[in-house]
Amino acid sequence: MHLYFETSYMTKILSIFETEYDLAKALIKRDPIAQRTFYDKFSGKFLGICCRYISDVMAAEDIMVESMMKIFEKVNQFGFKGSFEGWAKRLVVNEALMYLRSKKMFEVTMEDMHELQNSYSQNMDFESEELLKLIQALPNGYRTVFNLYAIEGYNHNEIGELLGISEGTSKSQLSRARVILQDQLKKNEKYGYSI
């Protein structure tokens, strides 16, 4: 349910911006309708990203709104190359990371890498919200690295540059995150998704 417009009216508005490039051009012109359209279209996705990095929902919402403002400010830097949505999502991730850095929530600990016996559950039918809760339950460092590697698709070198850590640390953090998640998945499977 949209806050500002009814669905039919929203459809009309969206039809004005046939492509995301049209929307980007309108945002460059600081069109207020375009800004509200962009918020309605992408606020859910961006909040989903923020919730993966920041466990506190209210803080995640604040970061999402801040990300929107940042996008409106920097939209003129979008070179109209590639996906506008992908460009905007990267900005949101950066905002989330900056928030974590400011709060010093990277609990990155140096741990020796060790092989883990990964026994995966056969039943992988989990709801998205349940999985989100599992990620939010991870320690900050593990959660961040897992998000960047598994979902955003960064490699360990890029993660090291983003977070200011070494590749080895990034790998160990990822490994630990997987172990914890696996355990959690098994437990939930055992108890029938009751988290």
Partner 1 sequence: MDPIDKLFSDKLKNHEVQPSDRANILFLSKIEKKEEKKKPLFWWTMSLAASLLIVGFAGFYFYSSKKQNTVDLAQNTEKRQEDVKLSENAEIQNSTLPKSQENVLEPLKEVGEKGFSKSVTVKHTSKIVEEQDLVVSDKSSQLSEYQPTKEVLKSVQIAKIDEKAQVASAIVPNQETLIFLTPMLAMNGAMNPHQKALTMKALQSNSENKEDYFSEEKSLFVRVIDEVKNLKKGEKVDFNKLGFKPIEELALNQDGFIVSESHQIKEKLNWIKSRLNNN
- For partner 1, the binding residues (CB under 8 A) are 3, 32, 35-36, 39, 43-45, 47-48, 51-52, 58, 60-62, 64-65, 68-69, 118, 120, 124, 126-128, 131-132, 135, 146, 149-151, 178, 181-182, 185
Q: Which is nearer to partner 1, 140 or 182 (CB)?
A: 182
| Closer to partner 1 by Cβ: residue 104 or 119 | 119
Nearest approach, Cβ of residue 83 and partner 1 (Å): 13
How far apart, in whole angstroms, are the C-alpha atoms of residue 163 and residue 172?
A: 14
Least CB distance to partner 1 at residue 112 (A): 20
**What is the closest distance, in whole angstroms, from the C-beta atom of residue 119 to partner 1 in the complex?**
11
| Nearest-approach distance from CB 162 to partner 1, in angstroms | 18
Instruction: Indicate the residue among 157 and 164 with the shorter CB distance to partner 1.
Output: 157
Output the CA torsion sign for 151, 154, 160, 161. negative
Distances (CA, A) of 53 to 32, 81, 138, 139, 154: 29, 27, 10, 10, 15
And the tokens for 122? 């056969």
Taking the least distance from each CB to partner 1, the nearer of 24 and 89 is: 89
E-strand stretches of the chain: none
Smaller CB separation from partner 1, 24 or 51: 51
**Long-range contacts of 148-157, Cβ-Cβ distance < 8 Å, separation of 24 or more:** 148/93, 149/174, 150/174, 151/52, 152/93
Q: CB 40 → partner 1: shortest distance, Å?
A: 10
Q: Which two tokens stand for residue 188?
A: 């939930």
